[in-house]
Structure 1
């Protein structure tokens, strides 16, 4: 988010932080996702709630009338602050509420001591979906009812991943909001990492890294970037040797394949 939306996001964050401490974090996450989904679905409501010409108090009262008794006070307070703020574009309002839905799930994971698990499980499920075309087809099929997708995910992942992971995976699958499923999972993983003020590195290697190798790589990246870095390691036989690291748009490539491609580029030049 940029400009006006960035400052509004900070306002909502302040309110969210004030109310989240006493809330049921799992419920708060689900409710903020639900409000974001409502705004995505009801275009007229979204336009009205994000209209900068309408008085903030009027928008907040309209939302309270609509949601009172249906969501917790924490979700209502966060949502009221969001609709009272001004946004650079209407879609930023729903984006912000989804973002704080992720923040609530992240806080839930931290309270359970499961934050590392959530980061790993989002990444692993993204790779499972990419490799299983049948599963992916069902999860992205608009004709499959939302509850059918949620039940499928509960059957597949219930008791096997942390509850916040299941919550975030379900949101990415059931309400993609214009993203591919893989992109949604990656975005949520990045947001989870941001809550810990650390970067996420996707590492591709021909073989699984030992714990010592992971620690050495983490230490090197921490020194290079000045921040903690969470490693998501993907074993890829096509790498042949060495490894590559992607952090955002930056790629560090020490693979044999990468070196061959570099030689080819130089020869072609």
Structure 2
């Protein structure tokens, strides 16, 4: 997002945080409502353009939102969307993207309140790896000829009782409404949102053998100091990484042995 849209999204996220801080607001239910509004605006291009038209008066757009969804969703959801309609957006799609992001954040907030955010983060990562390694499963989940209901039922069989409710809701929404993204890109975006919720970066760590707890702790601490942010480690084992480790943080890839990388981190911190 650019300029006005970025500012509008930041303001909407602040309002969402204020809403979900209240014990009277069910974050998971709010996520479902925001997802429903996302689907509506994704379908209705004309409505999307009206709500983001800078020539339209902000209050008139907010009132239109209240007339359309006020009786269909809760007061907090309607107020949040109305506030977003008052904002300026660089392009119509940005409003829909922002609503989808808020829905996902609300679900992650629900997991955080239940003390499950770390597990949801890990489950999203593991599910992404399963999909990337299973071509038949990926084909079934991305088949445009398959209906949303069939995909939902498949995911319920795969995840039901094995993953946290928030993980299941997030994955079902992504698979049934990809909105032009690849499944991998969507899962990566969800993982980043989950990490951000903890104000952490995500490091994908691939090692030849499982790391011990002290190694994981030392690596996490070293990376956190290097990047100036708390770090969440997603761990993978690949025997082809002979005698070493591969760490990816965003677009940056670090290769080398555990000891070498930690020693280098220590030297950089000392300087």
Asked whether the 8 Å contact 1:102–1:192 carries over to 2, the reply is no
Asked whether the 8 Å contact 1:15–1:77 carries over to 2, the reply is no
Structure 2 length-normalised TM: 0.90
- Show the 5 A alignment for 1:215-230: 215-230=217-232
| CA offset digits 1:91-111 (Å, max 9, x no partner) | 111111111111111110111
| CA offset digits 1:196-249 (Å, max 9, x no partner) | 111011112222222222111101101111111001112223322311111111
- Residue 59 of structure 1 is matched in structure 2 by 61
- Residue 128 of structure 2 is matched in structure 1 by 126
SS of the residue 1:209 aligns to: coil
Does residue 14 in structure 1 map to residue 14 in structure 2? yes
- Show the 5 A alignment for 1:89-238: 89-238=91-240
Could you tell me which runs of 5 or more consecutive residues in structure 2 were left unpaired when the two chains were aligned: 258-271
- Cα displacement (A) at 1:89: 1.7
Q: In the aligned structure 2, how far is the partner of 1:176 from the partner of 1:147?
A: 14
RMSD over equivalenced CA pairs, Å: 1.6
- Residue 244 of structure 1 is matched in structure 2 by 246
Q: In the aligned structure 2, how far is the partner of 1:147 from the partner of 1:17?
A: 32
Q: In the aligned structure 2, how far is the partner of 1:34 from the partner of 1:241?
A: 49
- Cα displacement (A) at 1:152: 1.3
Asked whether the 8 Å contact 1:205–1:236 carries over to 2, the reply is yes
Q: In the aligned structure 2, how far is the partner of 1:120 from the partner of 1:168?
A: 13
Q: In the aligned structure 2, how far is the partner of 1:198 from the partner of 1:87?
A: 28
Q: In the aligned structure 2, how far is the partner of 1:209 from the partner of 1:76?
A: 48
SS of the residue 1:46 aligns to: helix
- Cα displacement (A) at 1:156: 1.1
SS of the residue 1:203 aligns to: strand
- Residue 3 of structure 1 is matched in structure 2 by 3
Name which of structure 1's ranges 69-78 and 113-122 shifts more when overlaid on structure 2: 69-78
**Alignment length, in residue pairs?**
256
- Residue 32 of structure 1 is matched in structure 2 by 34
Asked whether the 8 Å contact 1:11–1:81 carries over to 2, the reply is no
SS of the residue 2:106 aligns to: helix
Q: In the aligned structure 1, how far is the partner of 2:189 from the partner of 2:14?
A: 22
